[in-house]
Amino acid sequence: MRTKLKSIAGKVIDQDVSLGDHPVPLWRKLLWRIRYLFLARRMPLTRNDQKINAFRDSLKGQRVWIIGNGPSIADTDLARLSDEVTIGTNSIFLNEDKMGFSVTHYVVEDYLVAEDRTEEIEKISGSTKWFGNYLSYCLPKSKDTLWMNVSVDYRDTPTWPRFSRNISRIAYVGGTVTYLCIQLAYFLGASEVILVGIDHSYVVEDLEQVEGNTITSTRDDVNHFHPDYFGTGKRWHLPRVDRMERAYVQAREIFEEDGRRIVNATKGGNLEVFPRVDYDRLVKQ
């Protein structure tokens, strides 16, 4: 009977195959699935779910900026976005003094980032934090933290990557945390998403320590705006730009289908999936 129940549960729950040494037990994922199914029908069962539900379409018709962490950020005056709705990720807090503000929403998806930056993430204030619920083993609970049901499934199937129009139920990975941010912006109701600092270009030095798909840095980070972003001793996953582009194309198509748009205001970089716009002109509007 136990084996049969496990088999049935395995068919209705997405297989999370990329959580390293911290897989989520099947029973817990089943409880999450039930909880988030209720939330998707606007019937929140927990305080966390009530908070998530309150954000649904809260920015309907507005624009949202997603701030990346590429080297181009060093040449971008982000202080001009202080009055905008912004989404930031991972170690963007290393740039907070220069920006002069905290992002409106802060997102972490990668368990390596969560583990290596736990103390810094805990100190973040002034932002609503959105984390995958599978990160609760290392990231602390707080009144400004919301836990999402994120499917960490990277299996190469014809339907990958999936895109969620309703992250109160589930959200999906796409090889870059930016993809999760775009799904969040959709859920918030944004009619326009503007990307900045998404350079979409990576260099992996020959001398880096690589085990499987995990890199442990032995030098300063050249792929992000700060040398300590993934600096010496920090871990990060091998970047799969091809996989990221599949996700970006999916996001663009979903937004276009629904009369919304995603544009790229990054200064330079290699991301050409979205229409280019001039940052300095757009920020004045």
Domain that holds residue 51: 2-282
Amino acid in position 208: E
**What pLDDT shows up at residue 270?**
97
Q: Between these two residues, 29 and 267, which has the higher pLDDT value? A: 267
Q: pLDDT digits over 243-273, tens only?
A: 999 999 999 999 999 999 999 999 999 999 9
**HSE, side-chain direction, 13 A CA sphere, residue 76:** 27
The number of folded domains in the chain is 1
Q: pLDDT digits over 215-227, tens only?
A: 999 999 999 999 9
The DSSP secondary-structure symbol of 269 reads -
Amino acid in position 68: G
Q: How confident is the model at residue 8 (pLDDT cuts 50, 70, 90)?
A: very low
The DSSP secondary-structure symbol of 81 reads G
Q: How confident is the model at residue 173 (pLDDT cuts 50, 70, 90)?
A: very high
Tell me what the mean pLDDT of segment 15-36 comes to.
Answer: 70
DSSP 12-64: HS------TT-PPPHHHHHHHHHHHHHHHTT---SHHHHHHHHTTTTTTT-EE
Tell me what the mean pLDDT of segment 202-213 comes to.
Answer: 84
- Do residues 36 and 170 lie in contact, with contact meaning Cβ atoms separated by under 8 Å? yes
**What pLDDT shows up at residue 256?**
98
* Mean pLDDT of all residues belonging to the chain: 90
Asked whether residue 115 carries a pLDDT value surpassing 70, the answer given is yes
